[in-house]
Amino acid sequence: MKKNKAKAPKNKKTRNKAFKGDTQFDDIFEHLADGVNVESEGIEGESVIDETVTPTRVHVQAPRPESEEAEMTYKQRRQQSLRKLGMKLKDSIEAGDTQLPGFNPERITLDINGNIKPGRVTLPVYYKAILSRCKNLINDYSVLPSLSATCPGMNQRIVRIRMAQVLAVLLTSTEFAGGRIGRLCQGSGITPVAFSELRSAFMLRFGFEISENTWYSAIHRLRVSGLLQTMAVNVPVEVENANGDKVTIVRSAASYKQFTERFFREFKVTRYNNVMSLIEAGVSKMKSHGFIFKWVNFSCLANSVRDRVQASFLNDLIEQVAPVSGFRNFSTVP
């Protein structure tokens, strides 16, 4: 039985519909948000819909003037930060310091100041097979049968391209001992990574800004197909306002995210004997260096959120009442 290959939409309006065609996903954002309530509408949509599978140039809109940053919402500041990163990446590539990894087993890294480091870091050898399998999803429906069966939008090539790219970003942030998507920390466990950080990783890998609508649509498809699990980390924090009254507010940290057993069963690559032996050797080496392949406890994440929120709340309080010195804003230059 022949598979119908849908042609990529020709105009931008049709392309944007491709990401919303198979399901309504407005109600899932509250479950996926990392530290903010993500709205169903993107700020301005994708800056560029790049349909090339292996892009070589950076396509990013210029960030807004810094003079406007003080009035930005949290969501707008995240986009501003992403576009600043995109401009740094563009300058680095044009200067010949680095190249976009795409589906290659490499990674672009940042220094402590958020600048692009020259060159690329080579990932463990088994990532070559993993990222090649992601790329195969573009032309092969059988890579993830549950995804194709659950989501009719996968009939469109541009949707499959985006899904393959999102998978590449997620899997290069995954430890394969348990399928957890996060950051390995020596001696403390695996810390969840926010979706906003993963979108920055998408920029560094494929060279353009993926819109929130497109990103969360891809995440939703993985969830409804039973390939990805997420769990929100919501923390009630009690603070005192200027009048001394106690107020309870709810904030969130990066959610727990991990691939399911069904995903690895269908994806197959990590269960090949040669790949499995390489993964096991890598995990054993990491464990010998003190890395723990378990999620960081919820209480640790909650304490981190409380510390951050309380500090932020006190800073805001100082903005509302004059400090003891009498100056209202130390950063203001007369």
pLDDT digit string (tens) for the chain, length 334 residues: 444 544 444 454 444 444 444 433 333 333 333 433 333 333 334 444 444 566 788 998 999 998 898 889 888 999 999 999 999 999 999 999 999 999 999 999 999 999 999 999 999 999 999 999 999 999 998 899 999 999 999 999 999 999 999 999 999 999 999 999 999 888 888 889 999 999 999 999 999 999 999 999 999 999 999 999 998 887 777 777 667 677 777 777 788 899 999 999 999 999 999 999 999 999 999 999 999 898 887 777 777 767 676 666 656 655 555 555 444 444 444 3
Answer for the pair 184, 307: CB distance below 8 angstroms, yes or no: no
CB burial readout 205-225, b (16+ within 10 A) else e: bbbbbbbbbbbbbbbbbbbbb
Q: Can you state the percent helix, strand and coil of the chain, rounding each to 5?
A: 45, 15, 40
Amino acid at 174: T
Q: What are phi and psi of 15, to 5 degrees?
A: -60, -45
Instruction: Tell me the helices (H) and strands (E) count for the chain, helix number first.
Output: 11, 7
Reading phi first (left if > 0) and then psi (alpha if -120 to 50, else beta), residue 215 is in alpha
Q: What pLDDT score does 189 carry? A: 87
Q: What pLDDT score does 101 carry? A: 95
The rounded distance, in Å, linking the Cα atoms of 254 and 305 is 10
Name the token pair of 136. Answer: 């195969």
Give the DSSP letter of residue 31: H
Give first-to-last CA distance, the chain, whole Å: 75
**At 241, is the secondary structure helix, strand, or coil?**
coil
Q: What pLDDT score does 53 carry? A: 66
pTM of structure = 0.76
Q: What pLDDT score does 74 carry? A: 83
Q: What pLDDT score does 320 carry? A: 54
Q: What are phi and psi of 243, to 5 degrees?
A: -90, 0
